[in-house]
Amino acid sequence: MFATRQSDLRNSIRFPLHLRVTLKTAAGEYRAETTDISAGGISFAIDNPIEVGSHVEFAIEMPSEVSGGRHVVSVMCVGRVVRCREEVSGQTIAVVIDGYHFKRL
């Protein structure tokens, strides 16, 4: 639901953080950098489109220098693609976060 619109509601505060994300889909694995992120979802740009509505697993990397620790922390997430828009820079993808947990690497 709301798949195409929920992210527009900006339920959570969006932070313009550029964090590395590794995304796993049925079509393959992608690496990207977030253009913005909230507790509700992320957006990023990649070359290939991803089907809207598809379920994805992804890891958001939180670098140690900003998380305040000595180790990289990853947030392991499951979610759904809610938007895939073709733009000059490639495909802008928006994914909602349905579940997550922290993982220290």
Partner 1 sequence: MVTTSNGSKGGNQRGRSKAKGTHATREAPADVSARAGLPPLRIILADSEAIFRVGMSRIFAQWEDLEVVAQTETLPQTLQAVATTAADVILFEVGLAPSPADAVSDIAARALPGANLVVVTQRAGEQETVDYLRRGVRGILARAVSPELLVRCVRKVAAGETWLDKQGVNWVIEAYRAQALQGTAPQQQLRLSDKEMMIIGGVTQGMKNKEIACEVGTTEQVVKNYLRKIYDKLHVADRLELALYSMHHRLLDGYSFPPFDNSPEETGPILEEAANPSALVPGPRAVPEETDSEKHDKRELA
Binding mask 62-81 for partner 1 (x = CB under 8 A): x---xxxxxx-xxxxxx-x-
Question: HSE-up of 63 (CA within 13 Å, CB side)?
Answer: 7
Strands 73-87 and 55-62: antiparallel
Give the footprint of partner 1 on residues 45-64 (CB under 8 A).
52-53, 57-59, 61-62
> Minimum Å distance from CB 104 to partner 1?
4
3-state SS class at 81: strand
Residue (46 or 75) nearer to partner 1, CB? 75
Distances (CA, A) of 61 to 7, 13, 67, 85, 98: 21, 19, 10, 24, 17
Give the binding site for partner 1 (CB under 8 A): 1-6, 9-13, 15-17, 22, 24, 29, 37-39, 52-53, 57-59, 61-62, 66-71, 73-78, 80, 82, 97-105
